[in-house]
Structure formats: C-alpha cells, structure tokens
Structure 1
C-alpha cells in the first residue's frame, strides 16, 4: 500500500468512526462504499472489512455511552440477539448469491435511511402523535 492510500483510509476511518459512533451506526455505511468504489474490493471483502471497523467502533462507543449512562441494555440485548439469524443469512447470501443487486440494494437502503433521518429531524413535524411505545 502506498502512503497516499494509507492516508485516505486513515481519513475515511476517522470520519466513519466518529460520525458512525455519534449516530450509533458504527460507520460501516460510510466505510464500505469507499472500499467498494475507491479500492474496487469485492462486496464480501468490503462487508467483512467494514464489520471489523464497526466492531471496534461499537466497543469503544459502548464504553463511552456506558460511562454516560445512555444505554438501554435490555432493548439493546433483545434487538442484538434478534439480529443474529439475519447476520448468518446475510453472510451466506453474500457468499453464495452475490450479484450486482448488492450495489442496488445497498444504495436503496442508504437512500431510504438518509431520507428517514432527514425527515425525522425537520423542524416541521408531520406526525404530532406521541409514540405508542417508550423504552425503559
């Protein structure tokens, strides 16, 4: 790896780690597209590499949020355990049935999430109802 490649990866990683930890996403949604587009990695290699950075960010972020007492452990554990089958299914699908659909699905997912975050944080509220569930 050249010095310029290392510097680009370092800058992307710092940004992805900081922003991903702030919003609670780990940064994989930033890091993986860079690996796919700039470095031409295969999707399964980019996804696996992205998971490593997300794991590191998640551990460090969880330590910080635990110190600030900003974690609902019961809900986090419930959601985390519930997501385990999906991780196995996703890994298997990517390994055995990869196609260009990966890029399309990934782009659509990021776009939908982006619009959700945009509209969720607009000063104009479209839905003034209180949420039905509150996590305690």
Structure 2
C-alpha cells in the first residue's frame, strides 16, 4: 500500500470522526480528499462521496433513532422529491454537462473545474451555517403548503446531486422552518434524507461509471469506524465549539479549491 493510499484511508477515518462529532461535513472532506490526495476525477469523487456519506449517515440515523431524535415519517415524506432530483441529476444532468464549459485564448473552464468551483461555493455556504451562533427558531403553527416544500426539496436535491454532498446544512433548516421540527430532532431526521438521497443518487452513477468497489467499500468501512468513534467522543467534547472551528477550516479549504482550480 502506497503512502498516498494510506493517507487516504486515514482521511476516511477523519471523515467518519467529523460526522460523528458534529453530525455533518462528511462530503466537505471526502470530495477534496479523493480529488487532490488520491487523484480521482471530480465526477468519480462526487459519486464515491455520495456512497460514503450515505452509508455513514445510515449508521448515524440508527444512533439518533435510539435516542428518539428521528421523525421517520417526516424524513421519508420530505426525501421523496429530493431523492428524485438527486437521482436525475446524477443519472442525466452531470453526464450531460459539456466537457468544456468556457474557453478563451488564455483560459479554459472544464467540467471538472466547474464542479469543483461550484462545490467550493457550497462549502462556503456550509461554513457560514457552522460558524454563526445557532438559535432556536420560532416555529410557525401552520406549515407551508406541501407544493412549496416539494419545489424547495427539488432545488436542494439538485444542488446536492451535482456536488455529491449529503446536504445536511441545507436540510436541517428546511425541516425546522418548513416541517416545524425542533432543531435537535431536525438534525437526526435530516440523516434519513441524506441516507436515502445519497444512496439513490449513487445508483445513477453506477449506470454511468466504473466503480472500484474494493477501494470504495474499504474507504466506507473505515469511515463507519470513524463515525462510531466520533459518536463516542461526542459525549466528552463540545460539538458546538468543534462545529465552529470546523467551519473556519472549511472556509480555508474552499478558498484553496478555488485558488487551485483557477490559478
């Protein structure tokens, strides 16, 4: 096993630890790790990220469910329009993006570059949601009509499908504002949506990509070990402080990705 491969598997453990400690951020680490350290194509990296995040989120869902912090009915209902969007974006939208998005005399924006830059901007959004002080929102007694939630879930699903992200930082506020679920329960419920979306989205990639199953399953198993360690350590470590620190780290990573892709 090469040094790079060993570092990649250490990274897989860190991905799981982050998910276990702060309940999100797995794909934020997984995609850059696969692209910049292990040398995977961004399309393949975002596909692998969906599988890794989907399986590890499934483990997280079970842990939250045991604590009574998962609203299964709402999670499954909300996930329907979202997973349709994720699947269609992975099956048709991503493969249909032109290989060259923009070209001039001195610059050429490829499909891979475009996806990584878009991913970096999503990372910046995620970082701001991690850094800002969380406040319990005033929950409306009248949830918005389902057709509005349907449209919003389609938009979120498309974004997460393109960048290969779990999208927890988008789903949690959606569940609080639109489904009137308390914050702690929204975090647990979002894991159901992330699990369903990610794994169904990945099935769209299976039909268009050659998957290295031995590597992907090994990476995922190590991430699962990481999330179990992270969940155990979360009893002793302040998740809020970690989340804020991780948010600043994500900003640095996002700026690095933009700089590396454009310069």
- Aligned-residue CA RMSD (Å): 2.3
Of residues 43-52 and 106-115 in structure 1, the stretch that sits farther from structure 2 once superposed is 43-52
What is the distance in 1 between the residues matched to 2:42 and 2:17? 23
Tell me, yes or no, if structure 1 residue 25 matches structure 2 residue 33. Answer: no
Give the Å deviation of 1:40: 2.2
Q: Could you tell me which residue of structure 2 aligns to residue 135 of structure 1?
A: 181
Of residues 36-45 and 25-34 in structure 1, the stretch that sits farther from structure 2 once superposed is 25-34
What is the distance in 1 between the residues matched to 2:52 and 2:25? 7
What is the distance in 2 between the residues matched to 1:37 and 1:131? 42
Q: Across the two proteins, how many residue pairs are aligned to each other?
A: 130
Give the Å deviation of 1:26: 6.6
Tell me, yes or no, if structure 1 residue 106 matches structure 2 residue 119. Answer: yes
Post-superposition Cα deviations, 1:7-43, rounded to whole Å, max 9, x if no partner, equal 2122211111121244433712211111111222111
What is the distance in 2 between the residues matched to 1:70 and 1:62? 9
Q: Could you tell me which residue of structure 2 aligns to residue 39 of structure 1?
A: 38
Q: Could you tell me which residue of structure 2 aligns to residue 68 of structure 1?
A: 67
Do the aligned partners of 2:8 and 2:37 also contact (CA within 8 Å) in 1?
A: no
- Change in Cα spacing, 1:24 to 1:79, as seen in structure 2 (3 Å) is farther
Structure of higher RCO (CA pairs closer than 8 Å, 6+ residues apart): 2
Unaligned runs of 5+ in 2: 100-110, 141-176, 183-263
Do the aligned partners of 2:5 and 2:38 also contact (CA within 8 Å) in 1?
A: no
Q: If the length of structure 1 is used for normalisation, what is the TM-score? A: 0.80
Give the Å deviation of 1:55: 2.1
Post-superposition Cα deviations, 1:104-130, rounded to whole Å, max 9, x if no partner, equal 110001101111221144xxx7xx962
- Change in Cα spacing, 1:129 to 1:80, as seen in structure 2 (3 Å) is closer
